[in-house]
Amino acid sequence: MLSKQSPAFLEGSAVNGVVKVNAESGESINTVVVSISGKILSGARQHVFFEYSQPLWSLTSDGHKSESRLQGQYDWPFSLHLPKEVTMTVGTKDVPRVDVFRLPQTFMERHARASIHYEIVARFARGLLKTDYRIIAPFVYIPIIRPEPTLPLRLEAYERNIAIPGPLADPEGWHTLAPVQIRGKLLNRLPIDVSISCRLSLALPLSYTRGSVIPLQLDIQSNDVQTLETISSPHSVICRLRRIFKFNPEENKTVDPKSRREELEHSELATWWPSIQSSSEKDTQRTLSGEMILSSDLMPTTYIGRFQLEYAVVLFPFDANSFQPESNDILTGCPVEIATALPPGPRPRIYTPQYQND
Contact at 8 Å (CB) between 309 and 301? yes
| Type of residue at 298 | L
Q: What does pLDDT average to over the chain?
A: 87
Q: Single out the residue in 95, 115, 142 at which a domain terminates.
A: 142
Q: How many helices and strands, by DSSP H and E, does the chain display?
A: 3, 22
* 218, 308: one domain: yes
* 60, 181: one domain: no
* 255, 112: one domain: no
Q: So what's the pLDDT on residue 278?
A: 57
Largest CA distance in the chain: 97
* 189, 268: one domain: yes
Assess if residue 3 is contained within a domain: no
Q: Single out the residue in 116, 142, 168 at which a domain terminates.
A: 142
Range list of H helices, 37-151: none
Cα 75 to its chain centre, rounded Å, is 38
Answer yes or no: pTM beyond 0.85: yes
**CATH code of the domain containing 80:** 2.60.40.640
Lowest mean pLDDT among 34-43, 130-139, 243-252: 243-252
* 178, 319: one domain: yes
- Residue 134 CA to residue 132 CA, distance in Å, equals 6
Give the tens place of pLDDT for each residue, 298-317. Answer: 999 999 998 999 999 999 99
Assess if residue 94 is contained within a domain: yes
- Residue 45 CA to residue 305 CA, distance in Å, equals 14
Assess if residue 1 is contained within a domain: no
Q: What DSSP string describes 143-186?
A: ----PPPPPHHHHHHHHHT-PPP-TTT-GGGEEEPPPEEEEEEE
Assess if residue 108 is contained within a domain: yes
- Residue 51 CA to residue 83 CA, distance in Å, equals 10
* 193, 330: one domain: yes
Contact at 8 Å (CB) between 153 and 173? yes
Domain assignment of residue 221, given as a range = 152-356
How many domains does one find in the chain? 2
In three-state secondary structure terms, 236 is helix
Give the tens place of pLDDT for each residue, 53-76. Answer: 999 988 775 444 555 667 778 899
Q: Single out the residue in 122, 142, 162 at which a domain terminates.
A: 142
Residue 295: CB atoms within 10 Å: 11
Assess if residue 2 is contained within a domain: no
* 296, 174: one domain: yes
Assess if residue 147 is contained within a domain: no
Nearest Cα residue to 14 out of 72, 82, 96, 116 = 82
* 296, 159: one domain: yes
Give the tens place of pLDDT for each residue, 121-155. Answer: 999 888 777 778 899 999 999 999 999 999 999 99
